[in-house]
Amino acid sequence: MHVHAPLDHIAFSNAWRTQSPLDKLIFGGGLLLLASVLPALPWSAVIFAVAAAASLGGARIPVRAWVRFLAPQIGFLSAAVLPVILGAGWKSAAVVWMRGVAAAACMTFLALTTPAPDLLLAAQRARVPAVMVELAFLVYRLIASIWELFERLRFGLDLRLRGGKPSLRAATLSAGNLLTRSIQTARRVERGASLRGLDGFPMFTPRAETSRMFLVSAMVLHGSLLAAALFFRSRFPW
Amino acid sequence: MVNPVPLEARGVSYAYAPGHWAVRNVDLDLPAGARIALLGANGAGKSTLLLLLSGAEHLCHGEIFLHGTRAERSRAGLRRWRREVGLLLQDPEDQLLAPTVEQDVAFGPLQDGVEETQARKLVGQALSDMAIPHLATRPVHELSLGEKKRVALAGLLVQAPAVLLLDEPTAGLDPGGVRALREILHTLSQAGTAVILATHDVDFAYEWATEVCVLFQGGILARGVPAGVLADREMLTHASLEPPLLLEAALAIGGPPPLPRSRAEFREWARPTRRVFP
């Protein structure tokens, strides 16, 4: 039984977990920007390869997990370009699809290497209103508790069904149970927060400082891609 | 001069619905260093009493005093109450608020305005005291129940409360976890913290407590030293409890007082008689 969300687990355990979120945002965000402005062919493929190398080689995210998160996004994109084929033709659809896949790889890199709390702390440092960040922290804790509850209920249902598929009635009962218990969980967390005198949510400032080496490397990479795109402009027009 | 009794309850009563008393007319003194076990069956009122003592629930009747001063439910009064009295809930999940262990333990000191460098030192010390410094950067929701209990306890201890209330702290812990908890609680009471815990675990209460209170239908049925109260089989049966195994064995064997309180003491106590261990 997995009692924690797989995405969250990978974000907390990858090799770049301690790297500053700002470093990862600049690296991933820069690639995302390039994916949207450079010619789709061949640069989207190059950006996809760079994002994949950073995720799998740099952050050492397991290949299966990476594919598992990327595949639904690519599936969604593939379905979404069908109307583009009918409206604007194959060529435009291919461009949209390639850019979309490259962008999805960049976003997957960010999502799998940066835990949500790190992003929220970065938001706090960036002076996002405190009330929004505090609320997001509490919602994150609540989602983690409800996820655990969901996994337990699902496990319990599986045990009682002995591997069979749940009937509509069993699934509905479980969903109702999850809702009721989620409300109970929310009330109990509210009581716990009150017990601890929740009055704002002060947090330690993150220890991970931005790495000059990492940032310079990221910017050199972004610059190289841009320079290469400009150099080969005659062969791959914008 | 600071009152040596950090927490006193006088005539405390609470009803969840009119006429349904969960706690009725309880008087309790918790002097510094006290080790008190609240025993009782499910629904006896143990958890509710702890919630009342912690200020989490409003009293229907009675008064609570912190260091001799009546506890107030004003914003400042509750802040003081929560700094002086820490409550560990039965399910630690309910009181862990921050995403990572270190951030959660830091919650109290930072909330109290402790400067970050000092707060980091306090957090490091609390994690070391709980033997969990290796968990500092782990997300709270990936921990086991025992680890969550330790984190929640570290989050209370980092604020050095005068009184610590624990609701079923041994529930769900393995024997090693129970042993570690007993040692932590001993250290705390030696340092002057008054500790009161609610439990079904009569064996733990017998070994650890200096005073036990048996609750029945919201009221105190019996109180006193463990060897006296927990030897009263008839009263315990009435309260849906059983005597502790060690005490029952010692009484069955018969021997000189004082009766043994732990397995180690039992071995030493029984050896001269050569009745149990040759």
What whole-number percentage of chain B has pLDDT above 70? Answer: 96
Nearest to A188 among B54, B87, B94 (CB): B94
| Residue A4 pLDDT exceeds 70 | no
Whether the per-residue pLDDT at B266 is higher than 70: the answer is yes
Per-chain mean pLDDT for chain A: 86
Give the model's pLDDT for residue B94.
87
Instruction: Please give, rounded to a whole number of angstroms, the shortest distance from the CA of A147 to a CA of chain B.
Output: 10
How many beta-carbon contacts under 8 Å exist across A and B? Answer: 98
pLDDT class of B276 with cuts at 50, 70, 90: low
Q: Classify residue B33 as left (phi > 0), alpha (psi -120 to 50) or beta.
A: left
Amino acid B268: pLDDT: 82
For residue A3, what is the nearest residue in chain B, using CA coordinates? B142
Question: Measured between CB atoms, does A117 come within 8 Å of chain B?
Answer: yes
Contact criterion met (CB < 8 Å) for A197 and B82: yes
Let me know: does B68 contact B228? Beta carbons within 8 Å. Answer: no
pLDDT at B275: 56
Q: Which of A138, A146, A203 to mutate to test the interface with B (most CBs of B within 10 A)?
A: A203
Region at B240 (left for phi over 0; alpha for psi -120 to 50; beta for the rest): left
Q: Closest by alpha carbon to B216, among B196, B237, B188?
A: B237
Tokens of A196: 């601890």
CB atoms A147 and B111 under 8 Å: no
Share of chain A above pLDDT 90, in %: 40
Query: How much is the average pLDDT of B239-248?
Result: 92
- For Cα atoms A139, A141, A143, give the angle at the middle one, nearest 5 degrees: 65
Q: How far does CA A103 lie from the centroid of its chain? A: 12
Looking at residue B5, its pLDDT comes to: 86
Contact A196 B97 (CB under 8 A): yes
Whether the predicted pLDDT of A3 surpasses 80: no
pLDDT tens digits, one per residue of B173-193: 888 888 888 888 999 999 999
pLDDT digits (tens, 9 = 90+) for A157-213: 777 777 667 677 777 888 888 888 888 888 888 888 888 877 777 777 766 678 899
B100/A147 Cβ within 8 A: no
What residues contact residue B27 under an 8 Å CB cut-off, 6+ apart?
B9, B10, B11, B12, B220
- Sorting pLDDT into bands at 50, 70 and 90, what band is A2? low
Q: In this predicted structure, what is the pLDDT of residue B2?
A: 60
Residues A36-74: tens digit of each pLDDT: 999 888 999 999 999 999 999 999 999 999 999 999 999
Choose, out of A13, A18, A190, A195, the residue to mutate when testing the contact with B (most B CBs < 10 Å): A195
Q: Is A131 on the interface with B (CB under 8 A)?
A: no
Q: Quote the ipTM score.
A: 0.71
